[in-house]
Structure 1
Amino acid sequence: MFREMRRDKQLLSIEDTVAVLSRCTNGVLACSGDEGYPYAVPLSYVYLNGRIYFHSAKAGHKIDAITRNPKVSFSVIDEDKIVSEKYTTHFRSVIAFGKARIVEGDERLESFAALVDKYSGNQPEEAKNKEISGCTQAHIIAIDIEHITGKEAIEFVKAKG
């Protein structure tokens, strides 16, 4: 169903792919937008329990698109260093495909707490807990990953030996 990566020597291991998803702080969600146009939107996320989670307003283009068609892709760029003398970049990236859904109950609380923790820095626990318990204006969306690949520049592959 999903294509194999053409340059398989540059394929990241699943462990390295998960590490990239875990350390990045933003990515791009792509879905089927209005009138068949692709809709790609940058957002903050957390990778937790093998899923990607993000928050969203309860109304808008993103929710409308996901409701119409839950099939999405999500990509992150971990590194992208310009190498001007070679007219290229040294990069590391991940792309995931899956189905998006609104989460409820314990899954919502756990994933929202993970989002707050990831983006709250050194804020006091009391403030974090207040944010989690007081936010009723947002959905938490999960992407149940069906296929995922990571890729890096051949220069990174060669440097590993």
Structure 2
Amino acid sequence: MSSPQLRRADRVMPDDRALQFLQRGFAGRLATIGEDGYPYCLPLLYVCMDDQVFVHTTSTRGHFRSNIDREPRVCFEVDEPDQVFDYGRFECDSGLAYASVILFGRIRVVEERDVKQRFCEMLMRKYGKPDTGRPKGFFPRLDIITVYAMTVERITGKDCALPAQQWPEVDLTRTPNAKVPD
């Protein structure tokens, strides 16, 4: 598994905040490992339930499902960008205010129909429009979707707040002795 040490210790998000961020995140990216060793990443809507992350796809077998069947280790990422900001005199002295959470774990296909039903209900609670007049809790395509449950083995979170003062009020240029060419 990837190293548990984050290089930027000053940006580490405590686990409780990382879990809260994960709960309220909008969409995530789930990365698998292909048979050829290349990573494969796709954006997915998700819900957290039973201390796991649940996603779904069509039941048609494709690249994603082939990867899962061969290797259940996955990585899931959720982020929320804020603003780009200047901290120094040169264009490369720019940063991004953000928050992100990365999960490492193993994923499995959910076979239990009642769990798939509950997943769909929670998915609609999170993403659906409340007053559409459509019947609630009825999912006629339940048998033609594949639901996956990721068991989280490790979670890391990072954030970088938008600085109260930015360049030119504060000059944090990383290469202060650099000279602009004539």
Stretches of structure 1 that go unaligned for 5 or more consecutive residues are 157-161
Q: Secondary structure at the residue paired with 1:16?
A: helix
Equivalent residue for 1:24? Answer: 25
Q: Is 1:141–2:142 an aligned residue pair?
A: no
What is the TM-score with the length of structure 1 in the denominator?
A: 0.85
Alignment CA distance shift 1:109-1:130 (3 Å): closer
Distance 2:47 2:131 in 1: 18
Segments ≥4 residues shifted beyond 6 Å: none
Moved more, 52-61 or 6-15: 6-15
TM-superposed deviation, 1:124: 5.2
Matched letter for residue 64 of structure 2: K
| Bigger share in helix | 1
Distance 1:125 1:93 in 2: 35
Equivalent residue for 2:130? Answer: 122
Aligned residue pairs total 155
Q: Map 1:1-161 onto structure 2 (within 5 A).
A: 2-58=3-59, 59-84=61-86, 86-105=93-112, 106-123=114-131, 127-131=135-139, 134-153=141-160
Distance 1:113 1:55 in 2: 13
What is the TM-score with the length of structure 2 in the denominator?
A: 0.76
TM-superposed deviation, 1:107: 2.6
Stretches of structure 2 that go unaligned for 5 or more consecutive residues are 88-92, 164-182
Distance 2:148 2:81 in 1: 26
Q: Secondary structure at the residue paired with 1:136?
A: helix
